[in-house]
Every structure is written in C-alpha cells, then in structure tokens.
Structure 1
Amino acid sequence: MVKRANDQQLTVEPNPLEVHGDSVRFTMSATLPTKMLKKGKEYIVKPYYVYNGQEIELQNLVFRAEDFPNAKEEQPRLSRTLSFYYTPEMRRGELFVQGVARNPENNKTRETDRMKVAEGVVTTARLAQEGYYPSYAPHGYNNQEELEPTMIGFFFQQGSSYLRPSETRSDRGTYLRNFIADKNITRTVSITGTHSPEGSERVNTNLSQDRAQVIEKYYRDNMRRYDYKGMADSINFILKPVVLEWEPLVAALEEYQGVDATAKQEMLNIINGPGTFEEKEDRLQRVTGYRKLFNEVYPLLRTAKAEILTVKEKKTDAEIATLARQIADGTVSPDTLSNEELAYAASLTPNMQERERIYQAASKKSDGYGAFNNLGTVYLEQARQATNESQRNQYLEQAVTQFEQANRRQENAEAYTNLAAVYLMQGNVQRANEAISKAETFSTTEQNRAGMMGVKGYLQLRQGNYNEAIRTLSTAEESAENLYNLGLAYLLNKDYQNALTRLNEAIQKNSRLAKAHYAAAVANARMGNEDAASQSLQQAVTIDPEMKRSALEDLEFNRYQESERFRNTLR
C-alpha cells in the first residue's frame, strides 16, 4: 500500500489555510487509487500542522478495507473538516500529511514520507478594528432656544368688544402689564377671540375678530408705554377668531356642574345632532337649565385669550462651564446648577481630568444612573489613552466599578455597552458578548444604539459570523472604524466590490486608517488587480511602515511575491 500511496490525491480547501474567529478550519479530502486498499488492512492519512519548530497532530482520515468493498473498481474517498485553535506564532506554517499502512491484527505499520499539502495561515480576519464606543448617558439638557407659554384671558360683555377698565385693572390686566414691562424676549402672541352662541352674539360675525384685535391693540399700547422700540417688530401677532363653533361650549359644559346629568346630556345631544347653528341654539333655549347655562357659562365664552410664547431664560454655555468647575472645586453649592446643567457642563470640555471631576461632583449630587455611567465612561476613555499596562488596568477597574454602580441604580444600555468594551480590552470575548446582548434589551438614544451596533458588529466579525456582522454594521454609527469593519466583513464574505465600496468610505472618513488601505489591497489582490493592489498597499505602508513586514509574509499576496512592482512597493 505504501508504494501506491504516491498516487493518492489529496486536496485542502481553502489553500492556503485561513483563520476565522479563533480557529483555523479546513476540509481535507483524500482519494486512493483502485486496488490500493487491501483486504483486512487500513490506510491512515495523518495530517500535521508544522510551525515555528512545533507541530499539531490533527484528526486522522482512516480508510478501512471493509468500508470500501468495491475498492478494486472504485477509488475510495474520504473527506473531513479539521480545525485547530490559532495563535499568532502559527501564521507561518505548513500542513503536511503522512500515510500509514496498518495491519489491525498485529498492529504492524509502514509509513510514507511526509508530504506538504497546504500553506498557512491567511490572517486577514485578524485585521478587524477593535469595537469601541464611549456610551455616555444623555445629559437631558437642551441648550437650544426653548419657548415658554403664558396664558392670559379677558372677558367681554354680551355683544360687545369693548375692553372695560374693570378688566384692565383686574389681576389679569395687572399681570399682563407687568409681563410686558419685564421685556421678556417674545416670539409670538396668539390671540383667540370667541363668542357665546346666543342670538345677540352670533349675529355679529365680526365680534370674535374685534375682541382679538382689541387685545392686540392693548398689548401694543403697553409695548409703546414701556419703550420696546425695535423689539416690538420681532413679535408676531396671530389672531384666531372662533365664529359659530360649538367646541368652546362643549368643553365648558363638560366641566359645568350647575345642571343635572340628564339636562347636560340633552344639551350635548342637541349640539352634536343635526341642524344649523341657529336651530341648535334655539332648541337649547327650550331645555331645562338653559337659564343657568346662559347666566353662568355663556359669559365665560365671551373672551379673548392670549397665548404668549417667550424665550426661556437660560445660562450661557460659558456660565454653565464656569459654575460646574466651581462646583467640582467645592467653592459654590452643587445646587447652583441643575443635574442636567451639570451633566451638560461635563460634555462641554474635552479635558478628561476636568470631565472626571465634574462627573464625580454629579454622582454626589444625583443618585441617577447617568452620572455613574458617565464617570465610568471617562475612566474607560482614559484606559484607552493609558501608556502602560498598570495604569490601563487601574482605569478599567475604576470604570467597571462605576458601571456596576450605574446598573445597581437602574440597568441601562449605556453601562452594558461600556462593559462590553471593557471586557474586550481585557480579552474576555464571552463576557463582552453577554454585556452587549444585555445592552440591546434596554432603550437608549439613536446615537448610542448606533454606537452599540458597532461594538456588536465587531464581536460578530471577530467570531467569524460575517453575514451577521454585515447586517449589524450596516446599522452602526458611520465612523471610519465601523465602515472599515463592514468592508472587512464583505471581504471575508468574498463580496469584493461591496468590500471596496465600504473600505473607500472608511478612507474618506479617515485617510490615515492604514488598515483600510491594506484591506483594499487584499480585496484587489483576490480579484487579480495587481496595479490597484500595489497602489493601496503603497498607501498603507506609507502611513504605517510596520505593514511592510506583514505584507511580505502575507499569503494574500503570494501570487505577487515575484512581481517587481510588488517588491518595489515594499522596499
């Protein structure tokens, strides 16, 4: 059998070997010549991966004569999926097989020489950019202009639009004069004029409009009195006359307790039933309790109500930032700012130390989860910027403490997203997966959700789940890193055109992202575009010269190793 082994056919797919997730997985197929397999004997194909002076013995393919009764006429064939756990030193290695003829009766064996059947390992999947997103809880502060409504109404006598002195001297009139005197920044004044439904009011179709105009004039007169000058021109007056409409009466009637339920229902039936406005009002007059309605409810409908929208008074960003620093220093009371203002102040500064101190003050002032999560997020960002392992680990421990504090107060998406990033930095992929899965179960802002998808997509990419990674990263924040990972997922899924599209988008976001240029070189190399591959590779090694060595050893570029242009690119 050993002599005939030279005629065996061995194939490996893929070749070169590739790492996906944390392992190298491939299919080995062996086909023996006819008449090679002898009765009662076995032929064993023993695969080995040899690297760096070491070797891994993989699962054997065993041909037993009894399993192939037609071996004299038909070639015996076996195929098996094999795998081994990958470590970086395995990148340069070779897959060998050795044939062993064995007699099961006496266990005697004869061996062939080892034969090289594949090279390894293509490590393109290891180019994934670590998923990281600093997930800050929303501060809840609106730094944009906000409008506050103020409602003031005036009453008129039946059939009249005259604004009586008793109204202007009332508490309502005094309040409006003082309001105007304060010169609040005002955007609009909407005045709704109404009338009651009885004849003397409804016959005057201009009554509602006239009442609204009277209030506008009163308002403008007071602006002149208090010297508004150019300020008055910026105020938009909107008049809304309500004519022959039942809604004001229906609303007032539902609140009115002066008639019994039967009479009230009868009135509502008339209002909601058929007939013209005049016919309905005439029928109302015949209902028991109408007089009380006329005397007690109708006067409330003879009004003009002003809704005044003024700009809410707020501190400037500079004032908020200054007060936040003073709160952090302990020189002013924490109550000088609201919880929202204090959290907003932290977002205004790019300085991590200052941000840390503000969030520390915020976590003492508020027992909400946000301050604790955001303090932890600062520690997470500092861990990424740390220059040594000890400092990095210390920041990560502080971050975890704060995220756990946040979740104890209220489980939330932001803290779990951040914990996933911590676990990734600590190399614990399983816990990172658990944390990001938990994060998905809670509501958050659209921005944080998109950032979360970037972390999740990276995890899927790292584990070799390329279709899932593509779906997830397509909904992620469109950062250079996420677009790059999306392009890499397409590349590993053998969709090279979409890969190049996404990689170019990543490069447009960050032209210094060397990995994106390198991955584009790989995509072009797989498509046989040597010029484009060399151009992208040149850009990658210009940004990061360390990539020259990687490219020289990368089996993705095997076909170009003898190309003068390729070698010139890497000199």
Structure 2
Amino acid sequence: MVKRQGEVNYEVTPNPMEMHGDSIQISVNGSFPTKYFHKKVSATITPVIVYDGGTEEFKAFKLKGEDSEAEGTTISYEKGGSFSHTAKIPYKDGMQKATLELRASGEYKTKTKDLDPRKAADGTIITPKLVMAADKAIIGADKFEKFNLENNNVEIHYLVNNSVVRGSEMNDKDIKDLKSKLKGWKEDVKMEFNSLVVDAYASPEGEISKNENLANERAASAAKSIIALLKQHKIEIPEGFAKETGKGEDWEGFKKLMQESDIKDKELIIRVLEQYSDVTKREEEIKNLAATYQEVAKKVLPVLRRAQINLVMKHHNLTNDEIKTLVDTRIDSLDAEQMLYAATLYEDMAKKESIYKSFVSKFPNDWRGPNNLGYLYVSQNKLADAKTEFEKANAIESTPVVNNNLGVIARLNGDNATAKEYYGKASGAGKEVAENKGIINIIEGDYAAAVANYSGINSFNAALAKLLNGDNNIGQTIDNSADKDDALAYYLKAIAGARSGDKGMMVNNLKSATAKDASLKAKAKDDAEFIKYRDDAEFQAAVN
C-alpha cells in the first residue's frame, strides 16, 4: 500500500475551502485502484487543516479490507472501491491562509504504518466575514407638521329654481362666524388661504337637465359670494384655487332627510319612490308628494337647495428659527412633537442629547425620549448607555421600534439569538428591521434569507448577500448604494470578477480598492478568492 499510495485518488470539495456560518465544512471523495486494498488491512484517514495558528483535525474516517474486523467502509481487493466523507470544524482566525492535508495510517495485524500526508486543498474563502456592521437603530419619529389645514364649513341655501345668493343667507350664523374668523386671520401672519371647495345641489323634484344647470349656477354664485367676502378682508386667493362642482339633484340627501324626519308614512314613501327606475317619473312623484305632504315641501326640499362650502385655511406652525430660539430660551414651552423635531435641526450631538434629556424630563411617559437618546448613543458607539435607554423605553411601551433597537444592541454585543428574538417583535418598525435581519443571515450562512431581507435595497451587504448566494451580478446593487465609493465595495466587485472569470473586472476593481485602502493589498494576496490568479502578472501588479 505504501509503495502504491500515489495511485489513490482524493478530491476535496470545496477547494479552496469555504467558511460559512462559523464553520468550515468539507467533503472528501476518493477511490482505490484494483488489487490495492489488502483484505486484512484497515486504514484511518484524518483531514487536517494546517495554518499559522497550528493544526486542527476534522473527524477521521475509516476504511477496511474485506476480511478485516475493523470498522469502516469496505474496499474490495479485486475491484477496488470508493469512499466519501463529510466533516466540519469551527473556523478560527488565520485559517484563511491554510492547506488541507489527508493523513492516513494503515494497520495490518499488529503493525501500523503512516502514509505520506497528501495535500488536498489550498486556502479558505472567508468572504462572508466582509459583512459590514451596518446595524440600523430607528429613531422615534416626531409628528411635527410645518402647517395644519383647517376646514371651515358653511352652507348657503336657495329658493326653488333660483341661484341668487340672498342677503339673508350672508347673515346666517355660520357666515357670521366665518366673518369673525376672517377678521382674525387678516392680522395673523401664520394664516394663509389654501383652497375653496364648493359643492352645490338641487332638490330632486325638478327636471334633470334643469337641476344640473341649477346646481352648476349655485356652485358659481356661492363661490363668487365667498370670494368677495375674502377680498373684503384682504385675504388673497390664488387664481384657480376655487373648485366649483355642481352635483345635480340630491336624491340621496332626500332619502336621508326623510329617514331622519318625523313625517308620517316616511318609510312607505321612500319604498314607493325607490320603485321608480325612471328618474323623470320619480321627480314627478316627489312633486306630487310635496303637494300632498306639506312637511316635505317645507322641511325637506328647501334644505336640499344648497351650496356646501369648505374654506380651507393653512395655519403655519413655528418656523425652524422660532423653534431654535425657544430651545435656547424656553424649551419647556415646546410640545412633544415640537421638541422632538427641534433635535433634528442640530448636527451637534451634545445639543441633540440636551434636547432629548429635556424631553424625557417633560414627557416621562413617552417612549420616544429614552429611545432617541439610545439612538444617539448607538451612533456614538456607546452601546452600554444605549442599551440602558432602550430598556427604559421598552418599560414605558414595548414598541416595534424599541424591539428593533434592542436587537441591534444584542447583535453588536455578539448575541445573535437574542437579537433575532427582538427582531421578531419589530414587525412594522421599518425596512431597517429586514436589513438588520440580513446581517445575521449572512453571519449564519443563510444567504437566500439574506437576499430576501435585502430585497429592493442597494447596499454593500445586499450585494454581499447576492454574491454569497451565487449571483455575481452585484455591480448595480453596489453602484446605486451609499457604499459605492468604499474601498471594500471595489474589493467585493473584484471578487465578483474573479468568481465570474472576468479578469479585467477583477484587476480594475482591485486597483481602485487598494488605491483607497493600501491594507487590502496584503489581504488580496492571501485571499483564496484570487488563488488561481496569484501568479498572474496583472494581479501581482495590482496587489504589490
């Protein structure tokens, strides 16, 4: 056996070896020639990874001849035979620059003989370790509005078959109330006209065509009257901002008023009228009803002859400068939304922290205060402080946002299991949750799940997930991301070039990567992703 050991075929896959999750897994397949494996011989083969940190043994496997009483896969002496073995070991730093040896020893009766070690694989790909710690905490958003829209609703009623706005209508209580508001708005610099919406109707006892025209005319006359009122109070109206709509006859309004009335036989009246699919016939019957039931003529139909007017005013809230002034002078005068918004107006971290602490003091039952302090501390890498604040926020209210942020802290502290539990309770917090899950997916070697979580997202990690999942077309994902100019972004594209056999893409991106970060030259030299190019002159020029 020793003399013919070179005739034994071994193949290790993958070659180079690959790290996924926290492990290196290999498959060893091989075969023996005929009349090689003695019937009474047994053998133990141990895959051993050799690296600068020493050696690590994979689980050994055993083979035996047909008459051997030892354990293992039986190999025929006459026919030869094949074997396969799969094993896994934890990855350790330094194993990227390693070789795999198969060390075999044979045993015959009481004698043991070691065969020469066979080199079976060279290098370990550790590309998953490029994953960026781009964990994203989420801020508790403010609901501050630059302005509020205020609806001011009034009605103008008309005589039958008439579209003239009567003076008495312009002195009704709702119009008088509107006039009082207009006087105040005239002096209020924060009030601005936004829109005027007029919907006008006719009562349903007239002819269809006449009612449609009448409704249009009422919409126009009502809009004209309100615009005149606005001009009297020097409120300017941009051209085209008034929307006038004639709605025709109001059959639905008629039914509603009838149902709300105390008119005798109202249910019967409605059922009878609903039987008429011919609108003209129904109108005739309503006219007959009005003659028979005076309450219909006096209490229902007049109410339907109307224009409904909504004057929408824009009320401007505090300006950024006004808010900043109050931050420095009377921060307690700001409400919750204003105070949270105020923090977004500053780049200075100390100022933001001061505002959030004021928020916590004034609004102790609002989870956003401690959450946003924690968010601030994460950006400063003060993870212990951030965790404390997120836990305070969680005690107030366990929101999806807070659970995401606690997950970020757990992940950054190396506790992926706890991070996943928190992310499971963060649904609805935002797309950041999926991105955070994607980081753990890459670390654990679940690349398909990572690709799913990064769906629609352009980032370095999204591109890395695609590459690890077997898709080398990552250029667009990187080039459309905020990471596109990062040295590692070019390095990852170089790996994609090497994997797809595009040497030009590999070399050009390696040059760009090492120009931005010279330390990547040494990394590339040892990186098994480029192992087949190590002796290539263009590769050598790019990394030396």
For residue 92 of structure 1, the aligned residue among 77, 91, 97 is 97
The within-5 A match list for 1:235-384 is 236-256=241-261, 258-260=262-264, 263-274=265-276, 276-277=278-279, 279-284=281-286, 285-286=288-289, 290-323=293-326, 325-326=327-328, 331-332=329-330, 334=332, 336-366=333-363, 367-383=365-381
Q: Aligned with 1:354: secondary structure?
A: helix
For residue 502 of structure 1, the aligned residue among 458, 477, 502 is 477
Alignment partners' CA distance in 2, 1:150 and 1:320: 28
Alignment partners' CA distance in 1, 2:212 and 2:117: 106
For residue 454 of structure 1, the aligned residue among 425, 431, 435 is 435
The within-5 A match list for 1:50-449 is 50-52=50-52, 54-66=54-66, 71-103=76-108, 106=110, 108-143=111-146, 146-181=148-183, 182-183=185-186, 184-198=191-205, 207-228=214-235, 231-234=236-239, 236-256=241-261, 258-260=262-264, 263-274=265-276, 276-277=278-279, 279-284=281-286, 285-286=288-289, 290-323=293-326, 325-326=327-328, 331-332=329-330, 334=332, 336-366=333-363, 367-383=365-381, 395-439=382-426, 442-444=427-429, 448-449=430-431
Cα distance 1:278–1:55, how it changes in 2: closer, same or farther (>3 A)? closer
TM-aligned CA deviation for residue 200 of structure 1: 11
Cα distance 1:202–1:569, how it changes in 2: closer, same or farther (>3 A)? closer
- Paired residue for 1:389? none
Alignment partners' CA distance in 1, 2:25 and 2:526: 20
Is the counterpart of residue 27 in structure 1 residue 27 in structure 2?
yes
Q: Could you give the per-residue CA deviations for residues 97-151 of structure 1, whole angstroms, max 9, x where no partner exists? A: 2211124x65x422123232222222222112223223123322333x5532210
Alignment partners' CA distance in 1, 2:369 and 2:476: 40
Moved more, 15-24 or 294-303: 294-303
Cα distance 1:369–1:194, how it changes in 2: closer, same or farther (>3 A)? same
Normalised by the length of structure 1, the TM-score is: 0.85
Residue identity matched to 1:356:
E
Cα distance 1:220–1:37, how it changes in 2: closer, same or farther (>3 A)? closer
- Paired residue for 1:391? none
Cα distance 1:69–1:203, how it changes in 2: closer, same or farther (>3 A)? closer
Q: Aligned with 2:467: secondary structure?
A: helix
Alignment partners' CA distance in 1, 2:538 and 2:210: 95
Moved more, 191-200 or 348-357: 191-200
Q: Aligned with 1:56: secondary structure?
A: strand
Residue identity matched to 1:377:
Y
Q: Is the 8 A contact 1:158 1:200 kept in 2?
A: no
Q: Is the 8 A contact 2:19 2:25 kept in 1?
A: yes
Alignment partners' CA distance in 1, 2:114 and 2:148: 85
- Paired residue for 1:542? 515
Aligned-CA RMSD value: 2.9
Cα distance 1:12–1:292, how it changes in 2: closer, same or farther (>3 A)? same
Q: Is the 8 A contact 2:203 2:251 kept in 1?
A: no
Cα distance 1:270–1:186, how it changes in 2: closer, same or farther (>3 A)? farther
TM-aligned CA deviation for residue 236 of structure 1: 2.6
Residue identity matched to 1:467:
A
Residue identity matched to 1:379:
Y
TM-aligned CA deviation for residue 269 of structure 1: 1.4
Cα distance 1:249–1:76, how it changes in 2: closer, same or farther (>3 A)? same
TM-aligned CA deviation for residue 541 of structure 1: 0.8
Structure 1 unaligned residues grouped into runs of 5+? 384-394
Cα distance 1:109–1:187, how it changes in 2: closer, same or farther (>3 A)? same
Alignment partners' CA distance in 1, 2:61 and 2:304: 95
Moved more, 62-71 or 36-45: 62-71
Cα distance 1:297–1:55, how it changes in 2: closer, same or farther (>3 A)? same
TM-aligned CA deviation for residue 544 of structure 1: 0.6
Residue identity matched to 2:250:
E
Structure 2 unaligned residues grouped into runs of 5+? 67-71
TM-aligned CA deviation for residue 278 of structure 1: 5.4
Normalised by the length of structure 2, the TM-score is: 0.89
Alignment partners' CA distance in 1, 2:274 and 2:525: 86
Cα distance 1:544–1:167, how it changes in 2: closer, same or farther (>3 A)? same
Q: Could you give the per-residue CA deviations for residues 4-56 of structure 1, whole angstroms, max 9, x where no partner exists? A: 43322121111121211211111112322333333343111122112225211
Residue identity matched to 1:47:
P
For residue 493 of structure 1, the aligned residue among 442, 452, 469 is 469
Q: Is the 8 A contact 1:460 1:466 kept in 2?
A: yes
Identical amino acids, percent of aligned pairs: 25
TM-aligned CA deviation for residue 561 of structure 1: 2.5
Q: Could you give the per-residue CA deviations for residues 328-353 of structure 1, whole angstroms, max 9, x where no partner exists? A: xxx5263x333222222222322222
Q: Could you give the per-residue CA deviations for residues 135-175 of structure 1, whole angstroms, max 9, x where no partner exists? A: 123322333x5532210113344455454444333322322
Alignment partners' CA distance in 2, 1:425 and 1:200: 75
Cα distance 1:232–1:533, how it changes in 2: closer, same or farther (>3 A)? closer
Residue identity matched to 1:543:
K
Larger strand share, 1 or 2: 2
Alignment partners' CA distance in 1, 2:207 and 2:411: 79
Number of equivalent positions = 532
Alignment partners' CA distance in 2, 1:532 and 1:333: 56
Alignment partners' CA distance in 2, 1:505 and 1:156: 61
- Paired residue for 1:561? 534
Q: Aligned with 2:270: secondary structure?
A: helix
TM-aligned CA deviation for residue 69 of structure 1: 6.3
- Paired residue for 2:69? none
Residue identity matched to 1:529:
D
Residue identity matched to 2:157:
F
Is the counterpart of residue 526 in structure 1 residue 499 in structure 2?
yes
